[in-house]
Structure 1
């Protein structure tokens, strides 16, 4: 049996942040959490954790509540965004439960203090959790309205000194147009941050892309629906798009 320390030398990155949307946890449902889907994603995370890679996560809240949509329907934007942040805490707790049922020690760290539920965000403590090989799930975004979970993911990845952000999506990379609607859509193997912004490629919002660019933090866009895809990329395999400077 190969131990984690010897396997770790074979991986591309030693510390990464995985960003997934809340919708990724819905499965085929139109709303909420689909436990088998949560468990499947947890197994993907565990397979990478077993390589000795230090992993932190940010999960969106759109499967439960999306602040911007609530605002569009007449709700005050700040209130709507805080409701969205609370939705990300619920998703983080669900993922923590799934990971710990697989034997992976996990900590949920919230930008909004709620001590009975999870830990408050303290950078040094979060880094220490990663060093102890615990999966850290960052919840409640940045703790501020008007900032997306994409921006929160880039901020936390920078603070944790991650080597890359892995953005799990429904497609296997970044395309010049929607591959679901256009059969002639072209996938990029690599693309620059500036091209993403100029061509409106929709990898992440502009604030997140600018922050990643300024901190020289590559973004790997891959399909979360591909079994073993997350682990494969860390072993130098698979199909994905690398966004870099």
Structure 2
């Protein structure tokens, strides 16, 4: 088995990453490709936890949600992450990966409730643990949930999987002169208001000295390269 730099990781997967080029929903080809990347890392013996967002599902309800109470909208978003978690688990099952879904909201007929000790045991058994429903509280993003669960699971690093291969000085889609950061401090990311994670998540990671890597999940082998310690994306640390 190949030696890896990180033994236990938390992968933050946005709901938008599951859409591919679709306007909303889940693209089957994309989710299968993401699962294949996760399977490659799982085969190295790396323990993998996943926090998944729900923007791809909730995006289809945007017009209906205009003017909605923020707390209610956030609870709907949490339910969207449950749907994504179940879809991800099913794709993992088809790929031969054993996974468990744990929810911060109680939906016992569908998924397990979040129990820290049980989640850690699953990781130690080599199962992928998928955390859904964010923190279970409105007004907190799934970025914050990723930082929180990462600390609770004692992971070595949080990996934020996006459509962009790192953090840039400006939007690389609109600015051809945008430069990618290879390394950043949390204080730099916060003070410069860089689009890494929300400020609460960055502060949590900074205070607990939990490193963060932002990379593109759509670059073949990128997740494995990060876990192996190769330069990939942008590394944010104290």
Alignment of 1:67-78 (within 5 A): 73-78=66-71
How far off is 1:237 after superposition? 2.7
How far off is 1:72 after superposition? 7.5
Q: Which residue of 1 aligns with 2:53?
A: 60
**2:225 corresponds to 1:237:** no
* 2: CA distance, partners of 1:233 / 1:130: 19
**2:8 corresponds to 1:15:** yes
Is contact 2:49-2:131 (8 Å) kept?
A: yes
* 1: CA distance, partners of 2:185 / 2:64: 32
**2:185 corresponds to 1:185:** no
Q: 1:16 to 1:70 in 2, by over 3 A?
A: farther
Q: Which residue of 1 aligns with 2:75?
A: 82
Is contact 2:225-2:232 (8 Å) kept?
A: no
Structure 1: 5+ residue runs without aligned partners?
1-5
**2:26 corresponds to 1:33:** yes
Is contact 1:229-1:238 (8 Å) kept?
A: no
Q: Which residue of 1 aligns with 2:144?
A: 151
Is contact 1:71-1:80 (8 Å) kept?
A: no
Q: Give the secondary-structure state (helix, strand or coil) at the position aligned to 2:146.
A: helix
Q: Which residue of 2 aligns with 1:107?
A: 100
Question: TM-score, normalising length from structure 2?
Answer: 0.96
Structure 2: 5+ residue runs without aligned partners?
none
* 2: CA distance, partners of 1:70 / 1:109: 30
Is contact 1:71-1:77 (8 Å) kept?
A: no
Q: Which residue of 1 aligns with 2:158?
A: 165
Is contact 1:70-1:77 (8 Å) kept?
A: no
How far off is 1:236 after superposition? 2.8
Q: How many residues align?
A: 238
* 2: CA distance, partners of 1:31 / 1:174: 24
Is contact 1:150-1:204 (8 Å) kept?
A: yes
Q: Which residue of 2 aligns with 1:3?
A: none
How far off is 1:179 after superposition? 0.9
How far off is 1:73 after superposition? 1.7
Q: Give the secondary-structure state (helix, strand or coil) at the position aligned to 2:57.
A: coil
Q: Give the secondary-structure state (helix, strand or coil) at the position aligned to 2:232.
A: coil
**2:212 corresponds to 1:216:** no
How far off is 1:156 after superposition? 0.2
* 2: CA distance, partners of 1:33 / 1:224: 15
